[in-house]
Amino acid sequence: MFLSGFCYKKATYLAFLSHSLISLVPSIATMLNRSFILYLISFAYLATTVSVEGQRPLVTSEAYQKTVSGDSLFQQLETLAKFAIIDGGHSTIAGSVNQNATIYYIKSILDKTGYYDTYLQSMPFKFSDGTAAFSVNGTQYETFWLTYTPGEDAEGHWSTIILGDFPAEMSGSIALLPFGNCSFSDQVALAGAAGAAGADGEMGTGSLFNVTNPLGPYIPTTSITGVDGRALVAALQSGQNLVASLNVQEINEVRWTSNIIATTKSGDQDNIVTAGAQTDSVAAGPGINDDGSGSMGLLELALQLSNLSVNNSVRFYFWTLEEYGHLGSSHYVNTLSNEEREKIALYLNFDMIASPKFGYFVYDRIGSGFPAGSDHIQRNFEGYFTNIGLKSAPVGNNGRGDFAPFLDVGIPNGGLFTGAEQNKTAEQAVWWGGQVNVPYDACYHHACDALDNLNVTAWVNNTKAIAHVLATYATSLEGIPRLRNNTE
């Protein structure tokens, strides 16, 4: 799920400029060792070639759900985890050899079914990766590196900046920046304009979002927790002398990455049911729940659908650059013609659907602010959970995810979510079990988002819910308006 952009290892990989799978292999081979190439190819051939379309039974909710198993889902995640450690890595961040291996695997295994028309939509992006270390009076603090920050050492006495009260001169100081009414990138630029040597903000601010800012020069920047920040402010206000040291190492460069788009060859191509999840993680870890649970869940459903037939075409998206602010899905939607947009009946998004301390959340799409038909999708998901005896709850998304570009152009959409860094409430603990005031996923955007960081039961239930809704709309679009007034 998007918080900011993160990537790993300095290199430029242009392998996915070509849409020809065969042409990808030599480029991929330069990034992967020979044994791993054989591993990828062997997995690609596990997909079973099915019979001609006329011999496939029409998809039904019951039949599609029966294809979902925890073992099959987990096997897909084990594959993803192996990609994350290629070349000494530990994540599948956008533009990395690790993400490229994931992309190659997904496309090749879908191509082998013969059921889909697939292509790679490649795009350049401003890659940013780095590390940060921060200490005060010799005590090290937990930090969170920010994308697009410049890298160098900074050391000096603290100078606290209150919003709207930037000192005219801060030469040699390190600024402490709380969240406020202006963007964090503007705060960093203003601190740089005042001569600060470095800046520190609240943990999780994530990104400066661009390489420059007209308000001033960017300076080495990291973030710390709100608890630590408030403690440092209190120490400063009590008159303590604090000397801070900040070290930032960074890479900022242009790289290439790709979305995968796979559309069933059969079914009504003017009424396409679509679903998507991301292939990139943050730099901190392999992203098993965020969002291996979504992408590998959809991959397994795509493979199983190849044994069934559909009335309406189904399209699966495997997005890149979600962690950079859903740039991959935005690029896709923004490059569609109005005619192509009209063919998309609806979009379903799945980002984090196996959180360890899960909740069963359904995207809240009831109200005049959402495209017509989105409420039908929400009720379809809610009805599924009710029918199997599980409580679900609506959740707002605040623009955090690959669904946002579809909302912006009026395409009905919905999705599922099991929770991230937020704490479970007392009421939710009654609904779903677990402890009060404990995060749904304490490993969200951390190195511990690994194979043991998921709840398989929740993952299976959510994947079956997706199967139900996909089967419903692949058969009939009743409840989804098909006349929209999109603009180019």
DSSP string, 371-382: -TTHHHHHHHHH
Q: Is the peptide bond before 117 cis (omega within 30 degrees of 0)?
A: no
Residue 8 lies inside a defined structural domain of this protein: no
Dump pLDDT digits (tens) for 179-204. Answer: 555 554 555 545 554 444 444 444 44
Q: Which of 122, 144, 129, 153 is nearest to 10 (CA)?
A: 129
Dump pLDDT digits (tens) for 381-417. Answer: 999 999 999 999 999 976 679 999 999 999 999 999 9
Query: What range defines the domain where residue 455 resides?
Result: 15-126+254-475
Dump pLDDT digits (tens) for 281-327. Answer: 998 889 999 999 999 999 999 999 999 999 999 999 999 999 988 99
Pick the most confident of 47-56, 191-200, 282-291, 348-357: 348-357
In contact, 274 and 347? CB cutoff 8 Å: yes
* Of 241, 262, 279, the domain-final residue: 241
**What is the reported pTM?**
0.80
CATH number at residue 236: 3.50.30.30
Q: Are residues 236 and 259 in the same domain?
A: no
CATH number at residue 367: 3.40.630.10
The one catalytic residue in 250, 322, 342, 382 is: 322
Is residue 339 flagged as an active site residue? Answer: no
State the pLDDT confidence band at 21, using cuts at 50, 70 and 90: very low
pLDDT surpassing 70 at residue 156: no
Cα(422)–Cα(420) distance, rounded to whole angstroms?
6
Average pLDDT over residues 227-244: 82
Which of 126-135, 249-258, 259-268, 443-452 is predicted with the least confidence, judged by mean pLDDT? 126-135
Query: pLDDT > 90: what percent of the chain?
Result: 57
* Of 241, 264, 285, the domain-final residue: 241
Which of 81-90, 96-105, 370-379 is predicted with the least confidence, judged by mean pLDDT? 81-90
Residue 73 lies inside a defined structural domain of this protein: yes
Q: Are residues 233 and 264 in the same domain?
A: no
Instruction: Give the model's pLDDT for residue 356.
Output: 98
Instruction: Give the model's pLDDT for residue 163.
Output: 34
Q: Are residues 280 and 228 in the same domain?
A: no
What is the total residue count of the chain? 488
Residue type, 67: T
Instruction: Give the model's pLDDT for residue 169.
Output: 56
pLDDT surpassing 80 at residue 435: yes
Residue-averaged pLDDT of the chain: 81
| Alpha carbon distances (Å) from 197 to 142, 169, 193 | 20, 11, 10
